[in-house]
Structure 1
Amino acid sequence: MPPIDSARQRSPSNRLAAPAAPEARPAALDGVDEGVWIEVIHKMDEVYNDLLQYEVALEEKNAALEDSQQFIESVLASISDILIVCNRHGLIQEVNDSLRRIVGLDEDALRGQPVCELFADDASRQRAREFFAARPATVQDCELLITGRDGSPLPVSLNCTPRLSGTGKLVGMVLTGRPVGELRRAYHALRQAHDDLKRTQQQLVQAEKMASLGRLVAGVAHELNNPISFVLGNVLALRRYTARLQTYLQAVHADEGVRSPGVEDLRRELRIDRIMDDLAPLLDGMTEGAERTRDIVDGLKRFSAIDRSAEEAFNLAEIVERAVRWVTRSGGKRLAVHVDLPKELPVIGSSGQMQQVLMNIVQNACDATVACSAPRLEISATCAAGGVELHFADNGPGISPDDLARIFDPFFTTKPVGQGTGLGLSISYGIVERHGGRLEAANRSQGGAVFSLSLPLAQA
């Protein structure tokens, strides 16, 4: 919009000259009364005063117009949204700085160009042509692609409104809008954060359930300790009593003078000798069962208790056997597990945490081989240089190369929704690292996956 010349910028010499004084006027023409000249001079003074007033009013209006123009230009320059003013044929008349920054062209290059040439694809150009139909209407939130400064398409949400003259005649269209790329990225980031928050909430709920389960197991294990202690104590007492009774009966039956005539018949009828022979195996079985139950309860207490110190000695081979026994017996399908380990694998650390790691590895093998006709897991050990390396090899489908690189990442799981949390291997990885070892995963050449757990052995 070109600036309007202000009358205030004119020099005083450009102002209207005042009429000459009566003394400087020529003498009255013959036949003309002097009163007529005086009246003409008064009229000229009135016209001159009117012209001065008009000039002052014009200067004020020019000043107001300049202020309005500067205000409009400053507003248009500060608008972050793009603004395009077109005539009714779709030719650009005015644009703001925001559009010029986006497309990388100045106002002279844009003025007079068809607005459709600003768009990046045929669909956007066709949609822009529809804005200038025979009977255009207001368009709201129409997303089109504009060619950016570097030639890449930028999504822009446009609004199009008809521009009318003072008499209501269509003279053009006004397009306003804003780039939606940043908004879309912010929306995706917000959605990702919301999904992460939901997953974290689910993990917290699951963790609280596991904590409650641990407290329940600890309480049950504590309650089971008392009856198991009673059973073991009574079995030991019965074993002592059995030995005494056996000695007594042998003495009774050895003394023929003490025995009554029907004692031998009653002895054979009640099978006293067979009962006495079976007492020792029965007591041994009861003792073994009670001791196994005591070991299971002790393992439950260790697994569910909070580890106050990770500096305790334990046999890693026993933890492996316990983890295999718990997972295979709780699984719906029988997993054939072949364990080839030394009887003693002394390790310093937390037996409860290590049992959690081993149960997780065995459970993953059980889940990976669920579709196999004969699921199998082989556990072996290699001892060297003061350490032990356990190998858990299954005959499942293995791990894909893409998943292998992030299998220990938190919240990553290949299991269906609701069947895996994606935290088991991640937590196991951290536990093994805190014990000074390492946990690795790979695929076997003959098929299936293998997890390798390395730990330092306790020094004698």
Structure 2
Amino acid sequence: MPRPSPLAAIPPSPEMEGVDESTWMDVIHKMDEVYSQLVADEIKLEQKNAELEQSQQFIFSLLTAMSDVLAACNESGQIEETNAALCELVGRSDAQLRGMVLSQLTADDSSAARLRHVLSTPALQRSGTTVDVELLDAQGQRVPVDFNCTPRLDGQGRRVGMVFVGRPMGEIKRAYHQLREAHEALKLTQQQLLHSEKMASLGRLVAGVAHELNNPISFVLGNVHALQRYTERLRQYLAAVHADEPAAERAALRAKLRIDHLLADLPSLMEGTLEGAQRTADIVNGLKRFSAVDREERGLVDMNGVIERAVHWVKKGTAPAFDVHWQPGPDAQVLGSAGQLLQVLMNLVQNAYDAASQRQGALPALWIGCEVTAGWVRVTLRDSGPGIAEADLTRIFDPFFTTKPVGKGTGLGLSISYGIVEQHGGRLHAANHALGGAVFTLELPLA
């Protein structure tokens, strides 16, 4: 509240005699107005000072809270303003930094030269530029800093200096290095998981091959043992012939050793052995064509042959009691990897058997169809199982998702199959069939 003017209580002096009272009152009134105005101006000035102090405190709190380092320099590069982050980084106080040339904080001459170049560039845009430098921290270590440099202007729009705002990149680079190491470890783990799944597919394939090879190899072994016995009997008879024994003794020996029966049986033995060996060679050749799950060679692949081989190996290996309804369809050739496509089909057939086996009292069954429409090969596989739960339809191809008991599945088979089909430019869908059971649809572009 303004204080009363002390002039109002001053009586007129003798020198003021002759001035009437009204004039004197006017003078006092004017002096009161001037004094009131002075008091009002003083109040406004105090308010302005308080606002200025609040603004300074606000700016100081902003500079203190900044995690990025800041240096406001004049045209010569001398620091006029800084913040706590820069003081903490370089291990110097605000008073020590003020007046210091910013380039003195750099770790090498090249960083200092880059800062001087920015300061000496007169045509720098308002948006500024960036410069990478290395500063020396409080421990004398080199710290990479990415500075954003913008011109500082006065009231007339003239450049009076530069503002450098930078972020120390050491922590970011360390975090990036750790992220890259984690990514490499994740890729290695993914490769190991993929390899495990491929080995599981190859294991099913080998199980089928073992059953398939059993018959021709057993046949060949039986014939070889018979040929060994025949060889010994022929050796005895030829020894008697070369010894020029009497004809009667040779005839008796010939009858005893059943040489005539042996000679008559030799052609069929040789034919059977050759047939078994050829059958074994065919199986091995088929294994070479279709079991190379790691090979990336692309070529023409007959989908009918892939389906037939997948059904054959699964039935021979792990699903002998599997009623598969399949007839080769029209010529359906695609461009891709025979081994990878066989892995997909074997996985789908095996999953169909596992699902259909859940129904007690019924023979597991699978219906396979293959058709060619509008430049695509569409293969459908419908099993006689309980189908897929509605909540699982959206997750069926997710990695590690499986409805099988622990130890029975990795949850990677369908995920890997989905990826292989995508790499071949195709599509793989899962749904429930109207007649019951799950149906998987594989679509691949024709070659």
TM-score (norm 2): 0.50
Indicate the structure whose relative CO is greater, using CA pairs within 8 Å and at least 6 residues apart: 2
TM-score (norm 1): 0.48
